């Protein structure tokens, strides 16, 4: 009744908001979006919690907007949103420096955020663990966006249930192995708690970029930031190769591993850290390791400037996905010009 006359074409459906409108499409490139508008899923990937779709996912991204265990400035609960927004700047071009579209090789979905009732913070560990169980249960790799660093503890609980005790590849300014009585909700002690519970194996774990004091390393291999600056990222990878080897590993990247001049938007900044370039070189060098899960945490956008911290976090997560694409068959630009 309201159809246009035969000689006039009906308008095409306009593009945009593909995170919702490309339902079920979790592999392959999306049409270009406005970087300043549209739904801000991570790298514009499809939002879905449909198990029929997720069984085909290689990587599932989820936000963990929790910051009730921070000892410094709060605000990392807004990190997942900020990282997703920053990711729109890097979603529309082939992956640098490789020159391929990673989503041709790995299917990636955005699961949205873990839900909390802020009035019951003591339930958070169980809620995060159950949230992760659902994602890992699809046999997808989980890539989590924090949130303060305590969220790694329930994430490790979920991963260790599936994979057994894990090696930890840990980028941070802080060792996060200070005293823990087994009940603290503290983003500075959860890795000692995880080690005591057998979730991670200290002797198989490496901490990179540390520049705060602890009287004991608790069996972890610690590469302080001054050592990294002197020896370089290739030497870091050599140590990871020696310590972690072919053991299944979990990657956790606290954005305060970066110097505050590169990442001011975080709760507990410490001077003398890695540059963004060093961090990206390190992440891009992790393809040989059997990493079964990963997180990027501690982005607190209220203290950020020009979104530089959120953009660094988004690039780190993006490059981790690109490394998985190479493992799945993507071929980097052969000219070597980059």
For position 270, which CATH number holds? 3.40.800.10
Neighbours of 123 (CB within 10 A): 12
Task: Give dist(CA 295, CA 61) in Å, integer.
Answer: 9
pLDDT band, residue 2 (cuts 50/70/90): very low
Q: Is residue 63 part of a domain?
A: yes
Residue 169 pLDDT more than 90?
yes
* CB-CB contact of 264 with 313 (8 Å): no
Chain segment 227-252, per-residue pLDDT in tens:
999 999 999 999 999 999 999 999 99
Task: Give dist(CA 166, CA 301) in Å, integer.
Answer: 31
Chain segment 100-124, per-residue pLDDT in tens:
999 999 999 999 999 988 888 889 9
The 3-state DSSP class for residue 253 equals strand
- Computed over every residue of the chain, the mean pLDDT equals 92
Q: Is residue 183 part of a domain?
A: yes
Q: Which is higher by pLDDT, 198 or 16?
A: 198
Alpha carbon of 208 to those of 126, 236, 250: distances in Å?
Answer: 29, 8, 14
| pLDDT value of residue 33 | 83
Residue 20 pLDDT more than 90?
no
The pTM is what? 0.93
Q: Is residue 16 part of a domain?
A: no
Number of domains in the chain: 1
For the chain, report the end-to-end CA distance as a whole number of angstroms.
58
Residue 200 pLDDT more than 80?
yes
Domain containing residue 142: 42-327
Neighbours of 55 (CB within 10 A): 11
Q: Which two tokens stand for residue 290?
A: 């059997």
* Distinct helix (H) and strand (E) counts, the chain: 10, 8
Q: Which is higher by pLDDT, 217 or 182?
A: 217
Q: Is residue 132 part of a domain?
A: yes
Q: Is residue 337 part of a domain?
A: no
| pLDDT value of residue 93 | 86
For 12, residues 6+ apart whose C-beta sits below 8 A from its C-beta are none
């Amino acid at each position: 009744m309201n159809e246009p006359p035969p000689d006039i074409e009906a308008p095409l459906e306009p593009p945009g908001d593909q995170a919702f409108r490309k339902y079920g499409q979790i592999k392959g490139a999306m049409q270009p979006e406005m970087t300043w508008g549209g739904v801000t899923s991570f790298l514009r990937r499809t939002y879905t919690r449909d198990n029929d779709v997720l069984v085909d996912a290689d990587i599932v991204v989820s936000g963990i907007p929790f910051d009730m265990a921070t000892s410094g400035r709060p605000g990392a609960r807004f990190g997942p949103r900020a990282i997703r927004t920053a990711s729109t700047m890097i979603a529309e071009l082939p992956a640098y420096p490789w020159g391929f579209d990673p989503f041709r090789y790995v299917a990636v979905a955005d699961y949205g955020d873990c839900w909390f009732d802020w009035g019951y913070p003591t339930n958070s560990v169980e809620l995060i663990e159950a949230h992760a169980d659902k994602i890992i249960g699809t046999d997808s790799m989980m890539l989590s966006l924090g949130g303060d660093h305590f969220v790694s503890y329930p994430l490790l609980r979920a991963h260790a249930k599936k994979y057994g005790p894990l090696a930890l590849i840990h980028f941070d300014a802080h060792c996060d192995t200070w005293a823990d009585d087994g009940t603290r909700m503290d983003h500075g002690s959860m890795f000692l708690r995880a080690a005591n519970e057998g979730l991670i194996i200290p002797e198989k774990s490496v901490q990179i970029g540390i520049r705060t004091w602890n009287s004991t390393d608790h069996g972890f291999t610690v590469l302080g930031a001054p050592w990294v600056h002197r020896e370089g990222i290739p030497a870091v990878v050599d140590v990871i190769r020696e310590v972690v080897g072919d053991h299944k590993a979990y990657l956790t990247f606290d954005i305060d591993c970066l110097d505050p001049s590169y990442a001011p938007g975080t709760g507990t900044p410490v001077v003398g850290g890695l540059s963004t370039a060093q961090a990206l070189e390190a992440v891009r060098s992790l393809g040989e390791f059997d990493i079964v899960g990963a997180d990027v945490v501690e982005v607190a956008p209220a203290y950020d400037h020009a979104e530089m911290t959120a953009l660094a976090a988004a690039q780190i997560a993006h490059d981790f996905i690109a490394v998985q694409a190479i493992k799945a068959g993507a071929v980097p630009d052969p000219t070597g010009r980059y």
